[in-house]
Structure 1
Amino acid sequence: MRIGIIGAGAMAAALGTRWAAAGHELMVAGRTAGKADELARRWGGRSATVPEVAAFGDVVLVAVRYQQVPAVLAAIGDTLHGTPVVDCTNPVETTHFTLVTEPGRSMAQEIAEATGGHVVKAFNLCEARVWQLDPPMFDGRRLTVPYCGDNAAALELTRRLIADLGGDPLPVGDLRHAHHLEAMAAIVISLLFGGHDPYTVFNLVTTDPGHRHPAQPAR
C-alpha cells in the first residue's frame, strides 16, 4: 500500500516506522524539511511537498498539530478529493483541555469537507510511544483501536493499517462519531499533562485474547 504521511512529528514517526516495517511504501511531508528527510531515510521512502504527498498515497495520514491544519488544508487544495484519509489530529487546547471545534463538530469532519477526501478518524487516543510498541499489548491483550468514517473502502484500508500495527480494529460508526473520539482524547491529553503513564492511560483492550472482530480476518 502507498501511504502518504503529512507531518513529521512523533505520531508520524511512530506510525510510519511500523507501517514501513510491514512493507508499505511511504512518502512524507513536514514543516521541517530535515525531519521529513530523516524519516524518509529511516523508512526507505521519500520526502516531498504536501501536495505531492497528498497525490501519492492510496491512503493519506494527517498527523499534524491542530493549529497547523488550516495551512495544511490550504496547501492540499482539492488533491485529496475522493482519497481515503486517516485523521489522527486532536483539536484540544491544553489550558483547560477542551475542544476548539464548534459544539458537535469534529476536526475530521472539517478535513472531509475542506478536501472532499474519505476521512476516517483513528489513532488519536494514545500517545505516540504506544504506537512504537510491537505489537501494542497490555496485560497480554492487544490494544483495541476505535475508528469511524463514512466510506467503506476507506474504513477497510484503516482496518488493515490498524491490524498491521498489531492492534484490534474496532469500528464505532460513521464520521459523526469522530467528535466523540476527539472528546475522549481531551480526557487522555489532560491525564498525560497531569503526569500519567502514557502506556497505561485509557487502554482499550479486548476481554478475550483470542477475540476477533467480524471485520478482521484471522492472521
Structure 2
Amino acid sequence: MRIGTLGNGLMAEALAGQWVKAGHDVMVGGRDPVRAAEVAKRIGAASGSLSEAAEYGDGVLLAVPADVAVDVAAMVPAGRTVIDCTNALDHRDFTLAHPGTAEAISRAVPEVQVVKAFNLAAETVWRNPPVGLGVPICGDGGMELVQELVRDLGCVPVEAGGLRRAKLLEATAALAIGIWVGGGDVRGMFPRLADAFGAVLPGQP
C-alpha cells in the first residue's frame, strides 16, 4: 500500500516507521522539506511536500495540529482515505478546543473518506506498540484500509461506530490526557466489560 503522511512530527514518524517495516511504501510530507527529508531518512521512506504526500497515498495520515487539520486535509484527492489522529486539546484545562475535528474534515472535504484512529496513545506507544493492543476506529468508509494498517502494527482494530462517534474518541483522549497530566494512572480504567456490566451485557439474553 502507498501511504502519505501530512506532517513530519513525532506521530507521523512513529506510525510511518512501523508501516515501512511492514512493507508499505511511505512518503513523509511537510511544509519544511529539510525536516521531512530527515524524518523520511530515519525510517526509510520517501519525502516530499504536503501536497505531494497527499497525492502519493492510497491512505493519508493526517498528523498536523488540529487547528489546521481541515485546511491541510483539503489537499487530499477525491476517493482517498484520510486517517485523522489529531486531538484538538486546550492545554489549559485539557478539554476539547474544537470537538468533532474528524466530522469537520468530512464536511469540508466530502469527497474523501475520513477515519478517526490512533488518537488515544502517544507517539511513544506507536514506536513499539504492544502486541494485541486494541485500536478504536470510527468512520463511514475506508475502514478496511485502516484495519489493515492497525493489524500491521501487531494491534487489533476495534470498530467503534460511524464518524459521528469520532468525537467520543476525541473526548476520551482529552479525559485520559488530563488524568495523566494530573498524576493519575489511566491504564486500569477499563475493566473487562463482563466485569464492568455483569456477566451478561445489556441487551443480551
- Of 122, 130, 145, the match for 1:127: 122
Counterpart Cα distance in 2 of 1:38 and 1:124: 24
For residues 194 and 4 of structure 1, what CA distance do their matches in structure 2 show? 35
TM-score, structure 1 normalization: 0.80
| Alpha-carbon distance in structure 2 between the residues aligned to 1:14 and 1:70 | 22
Structure 2 unaligned regions, length at least 5: 194-205
Give the SS at the match of 2:91: coil
Cα distance, 1:33 vs structure 2: 2.5
**How far, CA to CA, are the matches of 2:86 and 2:31 in structure 1?**
16
Contact 2:62–2:73, Cα closer than 8 Å, also in 1: no
Amino acid at match of 2:126: W
* 2:80 paired residue number: 83
Aligned length: 192
C-alpha distance in 2 between matches for 1:97 and 1:58: 33
Structure 2 contact 70–105 (Cα < 8 Å) conserved: no
For residues 37 and 191 of structure 2, the distance between their equivalents in structure 1, rounded to whole angstroms, comes to 35
Deviation at 1:31, TM superposition (A): 3.4
* Offset, 1:80: 2.8
Alpha carbons 1:144, 1:205 under 8 Å: kept? no
Q: Which structure would you say has the larger Rg? A: 2
Deviation at 1:71, TM superposition (A): 4.4
Distance 1:172 1:195 in 2: 28
Could you report, residue by residue, the CA deviation over 1:135-168 in whole angstroms, capped at 9, with x for unpaired residues? 414xxxx2111001001xx100000000000111
Aligned equivalents of 2:191, 2:10: Cα separation in 1: 23
Please tell me the residue identity of whatever aligns with 1:52.
E
1:38-91 CA distance string (max 9 Å, x none): 1211233221111111111011000112133254246x1xx4322111100001
Q: Which secondary structure state, in structure 2, belongs to the residue aligned with residue 124 of structure 1?
A: coil
Query: Identity, % of aligned pairs?
Result: 43
CA separation of 1:42 and 1:202: change in aligned 2, threshold 3 A: farther
- What's the counterpart of residue 92 of structure 1? 89
Structure 1 unaligned segments of length 5 or more: list them: 208-219
Matched, 1:145 2:142: no
Deviation at 1:205, TM superposition (A): 9.2
Give the conservation status (yes or no) of the 8 Å contact 1:191–1:201: no
1:26 aligns with 2:26: yes
Counterpart-to-counterpart distance in 2, 1:205 and 1:6: 35
Aligned counterparts of 1:193 and 1:39: Cα–Cα separation in 2:
28
- TM (normalized to structure 2)? 0.85
Paired AA for residue 18 in structure 1? Q
Structure 2: how far apart are the matches of 1:179 and 1:125? 12
Partner of 1:161: 149
1:113 aligned to 2:113? Answer: no
Aligned to 1:217: none
User: Does the CA contact (< 8 Å) of 1:145 and 1:204 recur in 2?
Assistant: no
Distance 1:202 1:7 in 2: 32
Alpha-carbon distance in 1 for matches of 2:192, 2:115: 22
Amino acid across the alignment from 1:148:
C
Superposition pairs of residues 32-51 of structure 1, within 5 angstroms: 32-51=32-51
Match of 1:188 in 2: 176
- Tell me: CA distance 1:38–1:177, structure 2 relative to 1, closer, same or farther (3 Å): same
- Provide the rounded CA distance (Å) in 2 between the counterparts of 1:10 and 1:89: 12
Residues 205 and 150 of structure 1, relative CA distance in 2, 3 Å threshold: farther
Contact kept, 8 Å, 2:8 with 2:30, in 1: the verdict is yes
- Contact in 2 for aligned 1:99/1:183 (Cα 8 Å): yes
